[in-house]
Amino acid sequence: MDCADPLLAPMVDSMREFQRGFGHAASGGGVIELPGVVACLTPALGAHSLFNAAIFDSVDQLRAALPELERRYRDAGVTAWGVWAHSSDSEAERALTDRGMRLDSTPAAMARALDGDLRPADGAPVERTADLDAVDLVTALAWGFPVGTTIAAQPRLLEAFNLYLGRDERGDPGCVVGTVHHRGDCGVTLVGTAPAARGRGLARAVMLFALDAARRAGCRTTTLQATDAGRPIYQRLGYRELGTMNLWELRSS
């Protein structure tokens, strides 16, 4: 994968860990490891390519892996799977379009050094959580899943990611942030805020708590892939954009 900016390499490393994490967390799923390619398999979310996605080292390795990836996902009953590629990688784009894959989403690649003041405001209702029911509730509200989806599809999510939970003024679960700490980078994923808790600074508080924990654990950088809705929050937290990380999808239904 073409990584011109020095922070894109740690981002891709962290994204490999995301795929391993999703695969390890999945019920009836797993991690697909092929030469230069790592992918997650989450059959219970088989219509969602985000949870059935691959990331690669080189285009040659990607081309060699695509038929096997397609076979494995098809055999598992997955109807939508994807491959992550940076927007600068025109060779990967050709390989994926040649395979019939279409662009699904273009989240911004964002990164920053873990320096400066990262402490959330005193008294912010944030904690590292071991409450999968609360995580499930927030993700259901944030992403439009039926309640219980995360518990059923990813029962080992707490083992695969650091998960942080923010509560609203009533004490109800309102925001979730997931991270991996890998080779000095804090990769951020699984960010979701319940609609009733938006616009109150809760996502910022949970992000700061998670980043402060990462710095104390020895991480020096942080990377993420931002939706249009999340990008302004991350910009205010000091993240800069590094192009986009594009998710290419093959959907059979």
Domain ranges of the chain: 8-108+244-251, 112-243
Residue 248, beta-bridge partner list: 83, 103
Residues across the chain: 253
Residue 220 to residue 208: CA distance in whole angstroms: 14
Q: Do 112-243 and 8-108+244-251 have the same topology in CATH? A: yes
DSSP code per residue over 218-246: T--EEEEEE-TTTHHHHHHTT-EEEEEEE
Name the token pair of 9.
């390499």
- What is the reported pTM? 0.94
User: What CATH number is given for 8-108+244-251 in this structure?
Assistant: 3.40.630
DSSP code per residue over 81-135: EEEEEETT-HHHHHHHHHTT-EEEE-PEEEEEES-S--PPPTT--EEE---HHHH
59-75 vs 90-98: helix crossing angle, rounded to 10 = 40
pLDDT at 164: 98
* Percent composition of the chain: helix, strand, coil (DSSP 3-state, to 5): 40, 30, 30
Residue 1 to residue 36: CA distance in whole angstroms: 10
Residue 65 to residue 211: CA distance in whole angstroms: 35
Instruction: For residue 42, give the 3-state DSSP assignment.
Output: coil
> Mean pLDDT over residues 243-247, rounded?
97
pLDDT at 13: 96
Residue with tokens 């804090």: 186
> Mean pLDDT over residues 243-251, rounded?
97
> Mean pLDDT over residues 50-74, rounded?
98
> pLDDT per residue over 93-150, tens digit each?
999 999 999 999 999 999 999 998 887 766 678 999 999 999 999 999 999 999 999 9
pLDDT at 91: 97
Name the token pair of 184.
């000095």
Is the pLDDT assigned to residue 2 strictly greater than 50?
no
pLDDT at 119: 78
Is the pLDDT assigned to residue 163 strictly greater than 70?
yes
CATH 3.40.630.30 fits 112-243, yes or no: yes
pLDDT at 3: 55
pLDDT at 5: 84
> pLDDT per residue over 11-34, tens digit each?
999 999 999 999 999 999 999 999
Which of 79, 82, 83, 18 lies closest to 46, judged by CA? 79
What integer best gives the mean pLDDT of the chain?
Answer: 95
